[in-house]
Structure 1
């Protein structure tokens, strides 16, 4: 266990036992919280990591994020001529340009404690919440939300108006994962700890959540909570168990996700994205 992990875990135990609060935490506690936020922004610690084939939450990291809410008081901050009230300021984006990342003005918001990698593009208005990890070379397009603790891989394209859900509590639950080289079409939503496998292409307006089945036509099986790697996915509707109900003339249907092999024309489309970036 690292010294930082040990310090955060000790603070968490004291907080859970009502031994400290925002008024009594003390300078050492806040120094630990600041060190923790710096480590998150640097990508040195992450809310979830892949162990073998499975993504697992780092509970102590999520505890550290929750401590920043529980042990801090609301303050008034200024940003871009706007006054806002929060327990933390926004992230300092002053070093983004040094590592080749762009965040366009008038609405791009990155909260303190979020990691933005190198060669990223953040198009306004977009929002990246605390604990999120955005990998190198990733595009966060206009009107996108990257929720708390979401883990976005390298060279990912999040199409405009995409929602990546956040998961802070319970601390043992893994957040939403989008692995490397994924392309999500405009209007996609990924929620509740769903895992999007690497190299996949997802059609626009697709909802990926553990409650909706994924019909994997490659392995010929139905899976929940994940889209396997190297897939092309899109939404279709399948017959519901109440399809013969009198109220549903013509049948009732429920959403499903269909996953197929990547097609040549889809790969060419991702290559065009590379050309646009360059």
Structure 2
């Protein structure tokens, strides 16, 4: 099934690259795009997959990201309605009739999933929150109030996204892996994870921490500086380190830049995370 769908999406992408427009697209083309979105929602296809045990083994599925882009390139903007309010978009919102069967919950007045978003079994979405097209939210994961999960982002099982957390999306270029949050991660309120950053399993990230490839992670466990990922089983928080322009005349008292410090996950931190999980069961 997936191989056949991949081949069909690739063929449609070549036609689109050769000049196919939304006006030229056939009913069969649109049916293919709908089938593709159905498979994304079911979790049968994903925008990125892990090919090995390391954090570096996450790779983008380029054909999946092309399929998402085709849904924008070969559809027109339409007037739609949500909660009695009209809006204009290319994609409708996702049907949520399947949530009861898999034990997922979404609270009223502002939990929004765009077509093509996957929400796993026993997952919870608190309002207001938003999960974009192509995103994968794993089983038992909590998407708290004011959270955004960006297009094609991959969020694992039993993750906690604290209130007002942003998990960024990476849709283009298609060869770039999106943001990845592995299983068992807890992100504190106000965290931002962007630009394809990867957060290793069972890590706990402090409130208001920015994780992006441009900010160094000082891993005190392995005593090394890494970029673009937080190793697994770490406790991470923001600190400020001296900047290279710290002695500039305009910066009286020194200039500093953000850095992330990563230590081992303390037992009491793990225990608090387990209590959090118990409250959601």
| 1: CA distance, partners of 2:73 / 2:239 | 43
Tell me how far 1:76 sits from its aligned partner.
1.2
| 1: CA distance, partners of 2:245 / 2:170 | 32
| TM-score, with structure 2 as normaliser | 0.97
Q: 1:63 aligns with which of 61, 66, 75?
A: 66
Tell me how far 1:275 sits from its aligned partner.
2.1
Match of 1:42 in 2: 42
| 1: CA distance, partners of 2:135 / 2:188 | 20
Match of 1:159 in 2: 162
| 2: CA distance, partners of 1:100 / 1:242 | 53
SS in 1 for 2:174: coil
Tell me how far 1:91 sits from its aligned partner.
0.2
| 2: CA distance, partners of 1:264 / 1:68 | 46
Q: Equivalent residues in 2 for 1:197-276 (5 A)?
A: 197-276=200-279
Query: Hey, which bits of structure 1, 4+ residues long, moved more than 2 A?
Result: none
Q: Equivalent residues in 2 for 1:85-234 (5 A)?
A: 85-234=88-237
Q: Equivalent residues in 2 for 1:72-83 (5 A)?
A: 72-83=75-86
SS in 1 for 2:11: helix
| 2: CA distance, partners of 1:130 / 1:274 | 27
SS in 2 for 1:127: strand
| 2: CA distance, partners of 1:171 / 1:236 | 33
CA RMSD between the two structures: 0.8
| 1: CA distance, partners of 2:109 / 2:221 | 43
Match of 1:3 in 2: 4
Match of 2:24 in 1: 24
| 1: CA distance, partners of 2:100 / 2:203 | 29
SS in 1 for 2:189: coil
Q: How many residues align?
A: 277
| TM-score, with structure 1 as normaliser | 0.98
Q: Residue deviations 1:32-55, cap 9 Å, x none?
A: 101100000000000000111211
Tell me how far 1:82 sits from its aligned partner.
1.5
| 1: CA distance, partners of 2:81 / 2:243 | 51
Tell me how far 1:121 sits from its aligned partner.
0.5
Gaps of 5+ in 1: none
Gaps of 5+ in 2: none
| 2: CA distance, partners of 1:178 / 1:5 | 25
| 1: CA distance, partners of 2:187 / 2:88 | 32
Tell me how far 1:197 sits from its aligned partner.
0.2
